[in-house]
Amino acid sequence: MKLYNLELSGNCYKVRLLAALTRIPLENVPMNLADGEHRTAWFTSLNPFQEVPVLVDGETVLRDSQAILVYLGGQLTDRTWWPEDSAAQAEIVQWLSVAASEVRDGPNTARLIRKFGYDHSMEQALLVTRRLLPLLDQHLTTHDWFALNRPTIADCALFPYLALAHEGGVDVTPFSALTHWIDRVRALPGFVPMPGVDR
Ligand SMILES: N[C@@H](CCC(=O)N[C@@H](CS)C(=O)NCC(=O)O)C(=O)O
């Protein structure tokens, strides 16, 4: 399987993290976004949205980190990361949606502005973040993991931009349950870091 990947992308890191934790071999295809490689015709034919990550597995071409996590989790013999039961799947998808909405609009956007100079509203990103972090912290006060009381693809989807929040000027350390969860993810066997996220 090929992963069209950017090292500094938290969305790509979601996929690299699950693959490392579950020992799925991926062929890394590094993309040069600075040179606009994601806007070329050949890449646009893989993903018309012109974004990484993209996963290619034979005839299957997938965009969107959440969708890729579902696909990879479903390929595993160990179905604990993405189970077959629909109630269990729905519990996970609730958190995939948070990753794709509030986390993207909050800490992810704050990082895009501060680290990469994107022209978005920091005020709006911080507003979303201030509402989000206490909600996550409250959940983690009574749960070690986001869904199903065990590590699942929900944790892989949420981890990158929460662990990278400091790069957007967002301090998560006052949220102790959230901070302890970040440490629990870091301690998982097979964990891989990325620039900005230590072991
Ligand atoms: N919903 C997509 C979002 C992917 C995304 O935003 N990718 C960024 C890198 S993290 C990208 O390729 N941006 C292209 C650009 O900024 O032009 C996902 O979850 O994978």
Tell me: the pLDDT tens digits for 45-103?
A: 999 999 999 999 999 999 999 999 999 999 999 999 999 999 999 999 999 999 999 99
Any idea of the CA torsion for 80, 82, 85, 89, to the nearest 10 degrees? 130
For residue 65, the CA-to-ligand 1 centroid distance in Å is 9
Range of the domain at 56: 2-75
pLDDT of residue 124: 98
Average pLDDT over residues 157-168: 98
The last residue of one of the domains, among 75, 96, 118, is 75
Q: Is residue 118 part of a domain?
A: yes
Instruction: Find out whether the beta carbon of 109 lies less than 6 Å from any atom of ligand 1.
Output: no
Residues across the chain: 199
Q: Sorting pLDDT into bands at 50, 70 and 90, what band is 136?
A: very high
Contact 64 CB / ligand 1 (< 6 Å): yes
CA 113 to chain centre: 18
pLDDT score, position 153:
98
104-117 pLDDT tens trace = 999 999 999 999 99
What ligand 1 atom has the least distance to the C-alpha of 118?
A: 16
Question: Where a domain ends, among 75, 99, 130?
Answer: 75
Domain count, the chain: 2
Q: By alpha-carbon position, which residue is closest to atom 16 of ligand 1?
A: 51
Question: Does the Cβ of 99 fall within 6 Å of ligand 1?
Answer: no
Six-digit token pair at 79? 């179905």
Question: Looking at residue 7, what is its pLDDT?
Answer: 98
Q: Is the CB of 14 under 6 A from ligand 1?
A: no
Ligand 1, residue 66: give the atom nearest the CA.
Answer: 19
pLDDT digit string, tens, across residues 3-55 = 999 999 999 999 999 999 999 999 999 999 999 999 999 999 999 999 999 99
Q: Does the C-beta of 65 come closer than 6 Å to ligand 1? A: yes
With CA atoms as reference, report the closest residue to 25 among 56, 53, 9, 1: 1
**pLDDT band for position 169 (50/70/90)?**
very high
**CA 162 to centroid of ligand 1, rounded, Å:** 16
Tell me, what DSSP letter sits at residue 58?
A: T
Structure tokens at 180: 């302890």
Domain assignment present for 124: yes
Output the domain CATH number for residue 62. Answer: 3.40.30.10
Q: Are both 70 and 114 inside the same structural domain?
A: no
Closest to 162 measured CA to CA, from 91, 113, 96, 104:
104
Q: At 79, is the secondary structure helix, strand, or coil? A: coil
* 48 shares its domain with 93: no
- Is the shortest distance between the CB of 53 and ligand 1 below 6 Å? yes
What is the sign of the dihedral through the CA atoms of 68, 71, 72 and 78? positive
Q: Rounded to whole angstroms, how far apart are CA atoms 66 and 124?
A: 24
Task: Indicate the DSSP class of residue 59.
Answer: T
Q: Is residue 196 part of a domain?
A: no
Tokens read off for 35: 């040179």
Q: How far is CA 169 from the centre of its chain?
A: 19
Reading the block at residue 170, the tokens are: 């967002």
CATH number of residue 102's parent domain:
1.20.1050.10
Task: Give the β-pairing of 2-5 and 54-57.
Answer: antiparallel
